[in-house]
Amino acid sequence: MSLPHSGATVPPDPRRWLSLVILLIANFMNLIDVTIVNVALPSMRENLGATDAQIEWVVAAYVLAFALGLLPFGRLGDIVGRTRMFLLGVTAFTLASALCGMAHSIDMLIAARILQGLGGAMMTPQVLAIATVTFPPQERGQAFSLFGLSAGLASVCGPVLGGILIDAQLFGLDWQPIFLVNIPIGIAALVAGWFLIPRLPDHKELSNDFVGIGLFGLGIVAVVFPIIEGRALDWPMWSFGMMAAGVVLLGVFVFWQRQRASAGKPQLLNYDLLANRDYMFGAFVVTVFASGIPGLFMVISLLLQSGFGFTPLQSGLTNLPFSVGVLIASFIAGRFGSHYLRSRLAVAGGMIAGGTGWLHFVIAGTGASIDPMSFLLPLLISGIGLGTGFSALFQLVLRNVPPRDAGAGSGALQAFQQVGGALGIALVGQIFFSQLSGNFAAGNSPQAAFGDAAALAMWYQVVSFGLVLALAFAFKGNGRQPQGNSAPPIPVEA
* Helix ranges (DSSP H) in 103-181: 106-134, 137-168, 177-180
Asked whether residue 5 is domain-assigned, the answer is no
Confidence of residue 483 (pLDDT cuts 50, 70, 90): very low
pLDDT in tens, 337-351: 778 899 999 999 999
- In one-letter notation, the amino acid at residue 55 is I
* Domain termination residue (choose one: 158, 179, 203): 203
Concatenated DSSP letters for 202-222? P-TT----HHHHHHHHHHHHH
pLDDT at 1: 45
Domain count of the fold of the chain:
3
Stronger pLDDT, 133 or 250, i.e. the higher one? 250
Answer yes or no: do 427 and 283 share one domain: yes
pTM of the model: 0.87
The helix (run of H) or strand (run of E) holding residue 190 is: helix 182-196
Is residue 96 located within the same domain as residue 114?
yes
In a domain, 163, yes or no: yes
* pLDDT of amino acid 10: 62
On whether residue 135 sits in a domain, the answer given is yes
Confidence (pLDDT) at 346: 96
Quick check: helix, strand or coil at residue 341? Answer: helix
Rounded-to-integer distance, Cα 248 and Cα 273, Å: 20
pLDDT at 4 over 80: no
**Residue 407 confidence class, pLDDT cut points 50, 70, 90:** low
Q: Residue 3: pLDDT band by 50, 70, 90 thresholds?
A: very low
Comparing 6-10, 158-162, 322-326, 419-423, the range with the smallest average pLDDT is: 6-10
Domain that holds residue 155: 14-203
Q: Do residue 215 and residue 323 come from a single domain?
A: no
**pLDDT at residue 95 is higher than 80:** yes
Note the pLDDT of residue 137: 77
> What tens digit of pLDDT does each residue of 223-241 get?
999 998 888 788 899 999 9
Does residue 28 surpass a pLDDT of 90? no
Instruction: Report the chain's terminal Cα–Cα distance, integer Å.
Output: 38
Check whether 80 has a pLDDT greater than 80: yes
pLDDT, mean of residues 78-82: 86
Domain shared by 25 and 79, yes or no: yes
pLDDT, tens only, 257-300: 999 999 999 888 889 899 999 999 999 999 999 998 888 999 99
Question: Residue 2 pairs with which residues in a beta bridge?
Answer: 199
Residue 323 falls inside a structural domain? yes
Closest CA to 62 of 101, 96, 23: 96
How much is the mean pLDDT over the chain?
87
pLDDT in tens, 345-389: 999 999 999 999 999 999 998 888 899 999 999 999 999 999 888
Report the pLDDT value the prediction gives residue 414, as an integer from 0 to 100: 86
Q: Tell me, yes or no, whether 418 lies in a domain.
A: yes
pLDDT band at 489 (very low <50, low <70, confident <90, very high): very low
- Residue 33's pLDDT band, with cuts at 50, 70 and 90, is confident
On whether both 217 and 180 belong to a single domain, the answer is no
Same domain, yes or no, for 363 and 321? yes
HEC string of 415-453 equals: HHHHHHHHHHHHHHHHHHHHHHHHHHHCCCCHHHHHHHH
Q: Confidence class of residue 404 from pLDDT cuts 50, 70 and 90?
A: low
Choice between 128 and 48, residue whose per-residue pLDDT is larger: 48
Measure Cα distances from 98 to 112, 116, 183, 367 in Å: 9, 10, 7, 40
Query: According to the model, what pLDDT value does residue 342 have?
Result: 93
Taking CA atoms, 78 is separated from 27, 205, 275, 304, 313, in Å, by: 19, 10, 24, 45, 42
Mean pLDDT of 329-341: 80
Residue 98 has pLDDT above 70, yes or no: yes
Q: For the segment 111-155, what is each residue's pLDDT rounded down to a tens digit?
A: 999 999 999 999 988 887 888 788 887 787 777 767 767 777 787
Judged against a pLDDT cut of 90, whether residue 459 lies above it is answered with yes
Residue 494 has pLDDT above 60, yes or no: no
Query: Are 359 and 371 within one domain?
Result: yes
Q: Report if residue 483 sits inside a domain.
A: yes
Look at 478 and 246; give whichever has higher pLDDT.
Answer: 246
204 by Cβ neighbours in 10 Å (0-12 / 13-18 / 19+) ranks as: exposed
pLDDT digits (tens, 9 = 90+) for 434-443: 999 999 999 9
Residue 64 has pLDDT above 80, yes or no: yes
Assign 279 to helix, strand or coil: helix
Q: Which of 214, 273, 278, 215 is nearest to 247 (CA)?
A: 215
Looking at residue 172, its pLDDT comes to 87
Quick check: is 78 in a domain? Answer: yes
Buried b (16+ CB within 10 A) or exposed e, 153-188: bbbbbbbbbbbbbbbeeeeeebbbbbbbbbeebbee
Do 453 and 393 lie in a common domain? yes
Rounded Cα distance between 79 and 200, Å, is 11
Judge if 254 and 275 occupy the same domain: no
Report residue 491's pLDDT band, with 50, 70 and 90 as the boundaries.
Answer: very low
Instruction: Please tell me the predicted confidence (pLDDT) of residue 150.
Output: 77
- Please state, in angstroms and rounded to a whole number, the distance separating the CA atoms of residues 258 and 7: 38
Task: Tell which of 151, 176, 203 closes a domain.
Answer: 203
Contact 75, 23 (CB under 8 A): no
**pLDDT reported for residue 8:** 47
In this structure, the answer to whether residues 147 and 253 fall within a common structural domain is no
- Determine how many CB atoms are found less than 10 A away from the CB of residue 108: 14
Q: Specify the pLDDT at position 367.
A: 83
446, 488: one domain:
yes
Here the CATH number for the domain that contains residue 472 is: 1.20.1250.20
What percent of the chain has a predicted confidence (pLDDT) above 90?
A: 56
Q: What is the mean pLDDT of residues 70-96?
A: 91
How far is 180 from 464, CA to CA, in rounded Å? 35
**7 occurs within a structural domain:** no
52-80 and 406-441 are packed helices; what angle lies between their axes, rounded to 10 degrees?
A: 170
Q: Are residues 40 and 98 in the same domain?
A: yes
Out of 203, 232, 256, a domain closes at 203
Count CB atoms within 10 A of the CB of residue 10. Answer: 10
392 Cβ contact list (under 8 Å, min separation 6) = 333, 336, 340, 341, 342, 344, 345, 348
SS3 call for 122: helix
Higher-confidence residue of 402 and 195: namely: 195
With CA atoms as reference, report the closest residue to 383 among 335, 446, 332: 332
- Residue 269 CB neighbour total at 10 angstroms: 22
Quote the CA–CA distance of 457 and 184 in Å, as a whole number: 38
